[in-house]
Structure 1
Amino acid sequence: MTFNGRYFLIFAFTAVTLYWMSAISGNLIIPLNLTPNPAQAMNNLNVSTASYLGSDADDWGTAVAISPDRTILFTGKIPHHNLGLTPVNLLGGGDGVILQTDATGRKLLSLTRMGSIIDDIEVNSRTGKIAVVGDFGLALLADAQTLLWHQELGSGGSATMSNGRRVAMGTDGTMAALFNKKITIVDERGTVVSEFPIPGKFVEDVAIHSPSQSIIITGYSQKDRGGCRQLQVAFIRSYDYQGNLNWTNYDWTHAEAHGGNSSCADTRGSRLTLGLDGNLYFAGESAGGNTIFRYDPRDLSKDAPNVIFDPYNHPYNTASNHITYYARFGPVTGEIKAGQFNLSRLSSGRGNTIIPRAIAADERGNLYIGGQSSASFANRNESTISGQSGAYAASDNFVLAVPSDLRTRTFMVSWNKGCKGNNQVVGIATGYGITAMISDTAGCDMITVNAVQGKPQGGMEILYSVWEN
């Protein structure tokens, strides 16, 4: 790509000016020629595989993890179809699956069945032990086929981005299971350390930071009766292992949010992860640009350290369409280090919807966000996967990659080739030189590369993809 320094200086000045103006006026409508972003590093993502997984029934992907031995573990629900493997049935088997592949994703190694669905998975980077959560409760596996123990936890719920069951595991082996707005902390032997409820209407995700023995959660609450009338407010909170509050971010009252430059856009905390670089990463969504995410999460009079370089990460000219926000925090004190918006845009330049459903960060702090986008994300028409072009239809599944300084967009791609329906990336994992994603699709045309299953079988389908970093 040719770099035009004069164009970049003009573009940068425009972006900074628009940011200053929008900070004053909220959703200011400013026409702007939406040229391709000169700061995007590449438009093509070469993948080692992209493949369907599924039966002739509805199949659902939920999460993905990478083991220290570089094998990849995909979870979800696949009824009646074993992908040519002999399944290992744990806890009586069921439609819930753990599919293990090699580091390329091209070779299927094992299939484990347990429960009606496996909702989330995390691997201990030190020992390789595997924590999973589903309708069976919490389970710890020595490897993808060997159950060590399991604990019943009750039902899930009280979440909008999943059925409310999530799991996190620290390097010391401690696990935190989230279900029905309650945290259960369990040690590596299966002994329950503590249980405590999480205040808030919806609790979406959990992370664990072993060095400080803290549990970090995110979600959102409904806070009405004020200048914004009805308002959803995101929160990030840290607790010690006994449930005592360490710190909180965002979580403003209705009056505080309204007073902060009328930050009346609904906000939601969606996903959390402890990056392999040791930082805490957050993905949330906001219903428009007049949002608390413009400001420091503890001081609405102070701007957040958000990085803006083009119209797709500057939240102007929006209505109430939901847009993505992601940020890096210190896990011990919760201080914000950097943040950035991401939104799609219509051909008119008006902001459009894009929502996050997965987040991961590698050893160098390179960040990956996945989810669902309406028309159209940055460089949508130029983006390719292993040289194959896609086509937008109804909704795109997407992966966005940004470097640790957030100053460029490494790539942003979709596997959609014109599939109309509910397409969204629901899990991302990165580390050990590889990245993997798992997506739900409407069971129609998607880009495939070196596929182990080249065609959808019917109903909702799983699509997964793997590439080297």
Structure 2
Amino acid sequence: SDFILDFGRDRNFIGLVNGLTYEALSISQGTQDYSSDTIIQIRETGEYLAVIKGIPSQTLTTTDFIALDSAISPPEIIPDSAGNTLELARDIGYLTEEKTFSDFVGDLDLDDYYQFSLETESDFRVVLEGLSANADLHLLDDRDNILYASTNSSNIAEFIEKTLPPGSYYLRVFPQEAGENTTYTLTLSSNGITPEPTPVPTPLPEPTPTPEPIPTPEPTPVPTPTPEPTPTPEPTPTPEPTPVPTPTPEPTPTPEPTPVPTPTPEPTPTPEPTPVPTPTPEPTPTPEPTPTPEPTPTPEPTPTPEPTPTPEPTPTPEPTPVPTPTPEPTPVPGTLSFSAPNFSINENGSAVAAVTITRTGGGQGAVSAIINLSDGTATAPADYLNTPITVTFGDGDITPKTIAVPIIDDTLVEGNETVNLTLGDLTGGVTLGSQNTATLTIVDNDVADGFNLLRGTYIGSSGEDEATAVELSVTGDIVVVGNLNGVARLQRYSTNAGTDPLSNIPLGGTVNDMEVSRNTGHIATVGDFGIKVFASDGVTSLWSQSGNFDRVAIANNGLVATLESSSRRVTFWDATGTQIASQVLDNSDRRFADITLTPEGDRLYVTGHRQAYYNGSGLQMPLLYAYNTANLETRLWSTWGGSVNTVGGLGLTSDSRGRRVTIGKDGGLYVLGWTDGGATLFKQDGLNMTTSLGSRLIQQDNYNSFAGAGSGSFTFFAKIDPNTGNVERGQFVVTQGDPPVNNARSFNPISIAADEAGNVYIGGNASGQSKNRNTQTINGEPVGSYTSGEMSILAVDANFQRKYWLPLAQSGDTDGARGDINGFAVGNGTAAIFATVTQPNVATLSGEVNSTQLGGRDAYLAVWNA
């Protein structure tokens, strides 16, 4: 029997020969090794005819068979001539004429790719039509980035019409949703490929007539009308040559030498028409030059010199007194200011955000100012030297100046401390700007073996409780959402232990995410109830919309973005709850996990992964995209994009994903990733897959190394340039066995946050030992016993040097505490987590609202000074 490996219903048919009919067949489902296949036999004899791999027998009907030796011709079968990946795209070559292709996309052929090239800048047009279901069209570059998209609904035709520069491009045709199956016709055209040959010959003949010297020989056969050429003097140079040949056409050889001396006496009339050289050819017929005085009307041009009164415009320079304003700026020495209200520096003296003075509004003269330092929470001279610092600018110097504040690098665990900066004592006439004070934060680099909780309490009921997210409000309150005893709730807490919620609002359904605006404190929540936005009090409802959303982000201007992960749809809502945009992002093989907005609301960032295939096996490749919120159809940049063949060819075959993306309180863009092994794309430059991160991959010790690792859940995090997508620095996090030598174990990433100084905080669970685990303390008590999957928190400084890393097992607990840290928030010196405890006990405080477990799964809130 035949094995049919690539049969697709609605696209392929089974041919029946030798008079065989559908009724004569026995069609049944296979068993054992063929349980997923269809077996076709002759009913009467039991002879096996074919095994159709991967097709359930009950799906086949008489329409899937064709009698090939009958008079009835089979329906047209459209071959799958387009490639199914970017690398296998059908190459059309240079698009010099209209091209049309017919094909099919659907469940059995998810993507069709076409490649074409343009030799010159061209007006390009493509139309996708003849659809029986909803299919979309993308125009891509060679890195699979979407340049333009057409995503009409239903079976409406798609088209893209753009002016494109020369280069190579790709088209992708794909079904909008699973289950959409359709044939299609794709027509491409462009202009501007053939014009190159035509201009080459045509300009050459045209310049040849332009030289007047060529026509001047032609008048030579017309010597008699020499008087008539007098009209030609209008082009004064050309008429004068005409008389030269006309008087003595035959003697032309001799007269041309003779004229040189002869004209000198007679040109005296001619000097008025300044073309003295022109009569020099004419002198042989010295009497005839006298007609040339008749062109003396040309001296009427000489009256044009009489317009030399135009020098009277020279008085217009007298308006040059306008430059008098320019001297007015020149005496302005400018204004001196701090470049920002906040700066930060590591305790070892390396700047995180260096103190900078700017000179604006002028630069004349040498100027100076003094920066005075005074105690904030830091004290001099124990933490810094408060000697005044002088900053100077030379004459014309407007380059910003950075200054170094002397910091004392002690061994005390003090936390971050602040110094007050004041600008004054100006010289050189410079003025003081409005930003004349600033705060410098000293980032502590001393690591404690533990820390003290401000709050540590279970939240929920004796039923099943689940934490979802935590944020800090503009007033310093702790805002949490979770599904508590089956009810989605929004709650607010103070940082004071033992106090009940400040507010407690049921949301209905299941809550999936929450975020707080950084200037208004507005709270956006999403879940299967849709979207609900509240004022900063957590009680007053501002607006709501129905739907089912997975992730949410909110900007300072009230713009809200929601993500529906399964459909890859991002929707924007304005501050009143009106939908203003909605777009399905990228290809159907992308899976998006999280979104974030800049506080200004001008950029959207999305992370997740691409489900690709390499050598027949699945490969998950991380992704990070940036969009302008005014145009979701075109990406600004993508990190870790590119060819699956390139990635696989480099041996980077460990599945890897982006899990969370956030804008830190320092304005930086941070991404949290997961990988199941060390052969991961995260090791590479995000913008160039063939280049490693090199020194940008920070390795402090073997807790950042994959040595000895097998498969597992490992953490990668990075700071990204928000304008380019470039990885500024990245780091892996692994736990270790005991002893911790080349024995990497899992640390599973779940949540991430970054504070004003660029310190990064990560919540996860560990299936191995964190560094110095058993010497860690919480509120002065040693942490409890280890268990696989224990909840742990990690903090690193702005240079990705570890600050602390500890489990949250309650002191004295013998079997360890297990769970997920679902949310992490940090800012203004306060840090908070909201977690789901699947195995108690976690660290709590006596006198808290719920210091002991409640039963079932419990939510857990912990707060401390960051």
Distance 1:268 1:434, change over 3 A: same
Inter-partner Cα distance in structure 1 for 2:472 and 2:599: 19
Inter-partner Cα distance in structure 2 for 1:376 and 1:198: 40
| Alignment match, 1:233 | 621
Verify: 1:111 aligned to 2:504, yes or no. Answer: yes
1:176 and 1:186 in contact (8 A); partners too: yes
Shift of 1:42: 1.8
Shift of 1:436: 0.3
Shift of 1:375: 1.5
| Alignment match, 2:832 | 436
Inter-partner Cα distance in structure 1 for 2:601 and 2:481: 29
Pairwise mapping of residues 244-393 of structure 1 onto structure 2 (< 5 A)? 244-260=634-650, 262-304=651-693, 305-347=696-738, 349=741, 350-388=743-781, 389-393=783-787
Inter-partner Cα distance in structure 2 for 1:310 and 1:111: 44
1:357 and 1:425 in contact (8 A); partners too: yes
Match of residue 822, structure 2, among 426, 441, 444: 426
Match of residue 460, structure 2, among 49, 54, 67: 54
| Alignment match, 2:538 | 144
| Alignment match, 2:857 | 460
Q: Which runs of 5 or more structure 1 residues have no equivalent in the other structure? A: 1-38, 80-93, 157-164
Shift of 1:422: 5.0
Aligned-partner SS, 1:381: helix
Shift of 1:454: 1.1
Match of residue 560, structure 2, among 175, 183, 186: 175
In structure 2, give the amino acid aligned to 1:62: T
Shift of 1:303: 2.3
Shift of 1:183: 0.8
Pairwise mapping of residues 14-29 of structure 1 onto structure 2 (< 5 A)? none
* TM-score (norm: length of structure 2): 0.45
| Alignment match, 2:578 | 191
1:55 and 1:78 in contact (8 A); partners too: yes
1:443 and 1:456 in contact (8 A); partners too: no
- 1:158-199 CA-to-partner distances (Å, cap 9, x unmatched) read xxxxxxx11111222211111232111111111112111233
1:385 and 1:447 in contact (8 A); partners too: yes
1:325 and 1:342 in contact (8 A); partners too: yes
Aligned-partner SS, 2:613: coil
Inter-partner Cα distance in structure 2 for 1:53 and 1:78: 8
Pairwise mapping of residues 90-169 of structure 1 onto structure 2 (< 5 A)? 95-104=487-496, 106-108=498-500, 109-142=502-535, 143-154=537-548, 156=549, 165-169=550-554
Task: State the aligned residue count.
Answer: 405
Verify: 1:398 aligned to 2:792, yes or no. Answer: yes
Distance 1:130 1:312, change over 3 A: same
Inter-partner Cα distance in structure 1 for 2:508 and 2:805: 35
Identity %: 29
Distance 1:418 1:268, change over 3 A: farther
1:355 and 1:371 in contact (8 A); partners too: yes
Inter-partner Cα distance in structure 1 for 2:833 and 2:764: 10
Inter-partner Cα distance in structure 1 for 2:497 and 2:569: 35
1:132 and 1:138 in contact (8 A); partners too: yes
Distance 1:76 1:105, change over 3 A: farther
Aligned-partner SS, 1:307: coil
Aligned-partner SS, 2:716: strand
Q: Rg larger in 1 or in 2?
A: 2
- 1:44-77 CA-to-partner distances (Å, cap 9, x unmatched) read 1211111111211110001000001001111101
Inter-partner Cα distance in structure 2 for 1:40 and 1:347: 25
In structure 2, give the amino acid aligned to 1:170: A
1:393 and 1:418 in contact (8 A); partners too: no
Shift of 1:279: 0.7
Shift of 1:103: 2.7
Inter-partner Cα distance in structure 2 for 1:379 and 1:193: 51
Inter-partner Cα distance in structure 1 for 2:531 and 2:815: 35
Shift of 1:202: 2.3
- 1:353-399 CA-to-partner distances (Å, cap 9, x unmatched) read 11111000011111100011112122211222212222211311111
- 1:255-296 CA-to-partner distances (Å, cap 9, x unmatched) read 121233x11111011111100111111000111112111111
Q: Which runs of 5 or more structure 2 residues have no equivalent in the other structure? A: 1-444
| Alignment match, 1:22 | none
- 1:3-39 CA-to-partner distances (Å, cap 9, x unmatched) read xxxxxxxxxxxxxxxxxxxxxxxxxxxxxxxxxxxx9
Inter-partner Cα distance in structure 1 for 2:512 and 2:815: 25
Inter-partner Cα distance in structure 1 for 2:560 and 2:447: 38
Shift of 1:201: 3.9
Inter-partner Cα distance in structure 2 for 1:212 and 1:61: 27
In structure 2, give the amino acid aligned to 1:69: T
Inter-partner Cα distance in structure 1 for 2:484 and 2:808: 21
2:594 and 2:660 in contact (8 A); partners too: yes
Shift of 1:112: 1.1
1:68 and 1:432 in contact (8 A); partners too: no
Shift of 1:400: 0.3
Aligned-partner SS, 1:315: coil
* TM-score (norm: length of structure 1): 0.83
In structure 1, give the amino acid aligned to 2:487: D
1:72 and 1:102 in contact (8 A); partners too: yes
Verify: 1:221 aligned to 2:637, yes or no. Answer: no
In structure 1, give the amino acid aligned to 2:833: M
Higher-RCO chain (CA-CA 8 Å, sequence separation at least 6): 1
| Alignment match, 1:78 | 484
Shift of 1:152: 1.5
Aligned-partner SS, 1:224: strand
Shift of 1:254: 2.1
2:817 and 2:841 in contact (8 A); partners too: no
Distance 1:217 1:78, change over 3 A: same
1:105 and 1:466 in contact (8 A); partners too: no
Inter-partner Cα distance in structure 1 for 2:522 and 2:600: 19
RMSD over aligned Cα, in angstroms?
Answer: 1.8
In structure 1, give the amino acid aligned to 2:556: T
Inter-partner Cα distance in structure 2 for 1:424 and 1:135: 22
